[in-house]
C-alpha cells in the first residue's frame, strides 16, 4: 500500500526557504563597514589612497579615490601606519600595505588596478613581536621599492621590497 506524505514536501521547502532567508540576513548584516578616515596618502593631483578603520572591528579598509569617486576598496588586516607616518607604498603596478597581525609586522600587497590580492609576507620573521611605532616613519618609498622599518623591544630592522615583483632586497 503506497504511503502518502501529504504536507511533508511543502514543509521541507518552507523550512529550507526560512533557513536560507536567515542566512542571507546574516551575511548582509555582518558585512564589514568602513568608518572614520585614518590617513589619506596623495598619489598625484587626481588620485589618493584613503585608509579607513572598520566600524566595530579590528581590520581596516584601503580605498583608491579618483577625485571624489571610490575606484576600489580593499579589506585588510589592522593597518600599521598612522596620520603623518603612512604604512603604504605604491607603484603603477602594486600597493603594499603595512599591517600588524598577531603582534607581528607584515606586508599585504594588492594590485593598483583593481585591488586584487597579490600576496603578503612577514617582516622580521626571525625576531619576536614588534613594538607599534608611535613616532618616526613606518614605510618609506621611492615608488619602485618599499622600505619598511620594523622594531622590537631590543632590535631594529630595515626591509626593502621591490614593488613590481614583491622580492625582498
Q: pTM of the prediction?
A: 0.82
Task: Supply 161's cell numbers.
Answer: 621590497
Which 8-state DSSP code applies to residue 126? Answer: T
Residue-averaged pLDDT of the chain: 91
Which 8-state DSSP code applies to residue 82? Answer: B
Mean pLDDT of 105-122: 94
The pLDDT confidence band at residue 137, using thresholds 50, 70 and 90, is confident
What is the pLDDT, as a whole number, of residue 129?
A: 87
Residues in the chain: 169
The pLDDT confidence band at residue 45, using thresholds 50, 70 and 90, is confident
71-90 pLDDT per residue, tens: 999 999 999 998 888 999 99
What phi and psi values does residue 37 have, to the nearest 5 degrees?
A: -75, 130
Domains of the chain as residue ranges with CATH: 29-162 (2.40.10.480)
How many C-beta neighbours within 10 Å does residue 122 have? Answer: 14
Amino acid at each position: 500500500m503506497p504511503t502518502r506524505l501529504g504536507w511533508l514536501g511543502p514543509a521541507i521547502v518552507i523550512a529550507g526557504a526560512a533557513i536560507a532567508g536567515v542566512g542571507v540576513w546574516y551575511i548582509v548584516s555582518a558585512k564589514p563597514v568602513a568608518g572614520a578616515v585614518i590617513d589619506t596618502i596623495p598619489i598625484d593631483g587626481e588620485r589618493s589612497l584613503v585608509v579607513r578603520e572598520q566600524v566595530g572591528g579590528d581590520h581596516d579598509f584601503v580605498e583608491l579615490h579618483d577625485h571624489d569617486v571610490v575606484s576600489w576598496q580593499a579589506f585588510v588586516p589592522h593597518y600599521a601606519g598612522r596620520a603623518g607616518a603612512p604604512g603604504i607604498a605604491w607603484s603603477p603596478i602594486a600597493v603594499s600595505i603595512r599591517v600588524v597581525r598577531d603582534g607581528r609586522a607584515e606586508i599585504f600587497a594588492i594590485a593598483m588596478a583593481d585591488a586584487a590580492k597579490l600576496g603578503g609576507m612577514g617582516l622580521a620573521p626571525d625576531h619576536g613581536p614588534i613594538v607599534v611605532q608611535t613616532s618616526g616613519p613606518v614605510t618609506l618609498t621611492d615608488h619602485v621599492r618599499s622600505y619598511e622599518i620594523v622594531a622590537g623591544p631590543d632590535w631594529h630592522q630595515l626591509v626593502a621590497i621591490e614593488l613590481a615583483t614583491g622580492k625582498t632586497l
